[in-house]
């Protein structure tokens, strides 16, 4: 699969799985929720793999200031995924933590939307390397 197609498929899969994570969390389907979290992390890993492939096709430096902004957001987003993971484990031990877990989850989802938008913007502006 080409990096472009691989990235698009894995990214859309990650978004769809995030939707399943939220839906199963809201319905307290705990086992399914945790399965969806695992699958989301795997799909995110594949998305990052293909994103590095895209970086070898597009001259991202030429997209300008949006490139470093997107890279900081992408790294922050990946690290921020730990927030719902930590608060989720806390919620299993102490159900009162559930509202905190919900806020952490919605924060990460909002950050994912902003990160995706800046990533799309960056690719839109970046020319392809001459082959």
Q: Which residues contribute to the site for ligand HEM (CB under 6 A)?
A: 18, 21-22, 25-26, 28, 30, 33-34, 37, 84-85, 88-89, 91-92, 98, 101-102, 105, 108-109
Please identify, using beta-carbon distances, which residue of 62 and 94 lies nearer to ligand HEM.
94
Nearer to ligand HEM, 44 or 122 (CB): 44
Q: Token pair for residue 105?
A: 């989850």
22: left (phi over 0), alpha (psi -120 to 50) or beta: alpha
Two structure tokens written together for 52: 């590095």
Question: How many CB atoms neighbour CB 75 within 10 A?
Answer: 11
How many degrees, rounded to 5, is the angle at CA 10 between CA 8 and CA 15? 95
Least CB distance to ligand HEM at residue 58 (A): 28
Please, what is the minimum distance in Å from the beta carbon of residue 2 to ligand HEM? 29
Q: Which is nearer to ligand HEM, 19 or 120 (CB)?
A: 19
Q: Which is nearer to ligand HEM, 32 or 125 (CB)?
A: 32
Q: How far is the CB of 46 from ligand HEM (least distance, A)?
A: 17
> What CA–CA distances, in Å, run from 13 to 10, 100, 124, 125?
5, 26, 21, 24
């Amino acid at each position: 699969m080409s990096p472009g197609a691989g990235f698009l498929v894995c990214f859309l899969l990650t978004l769809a799985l995030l939707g399943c994570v939220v839906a199963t969390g809201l319905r307290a389907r705990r086992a399914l929720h945790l399965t969806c979290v695992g699958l989301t992390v795997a799909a995110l890993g594949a998305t990052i793999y293909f994103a590095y492939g895209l970086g070898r096709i597009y001259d991202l430096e030429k997209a300008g200031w949006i490139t470093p902004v997107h890279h900081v957001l992408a790294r922050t987003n990946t690290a921020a995924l730990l927030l719902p993971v930590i608060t989720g484990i806390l919620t299993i031990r102490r159900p009162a933590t559930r509202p905190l877990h919900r806020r952490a989850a919605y924060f990460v989802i909002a950050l994912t939307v902003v990160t995706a938008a800046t990533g799309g913007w960056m690719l839109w502006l970046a020319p392809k390397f001459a082959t």
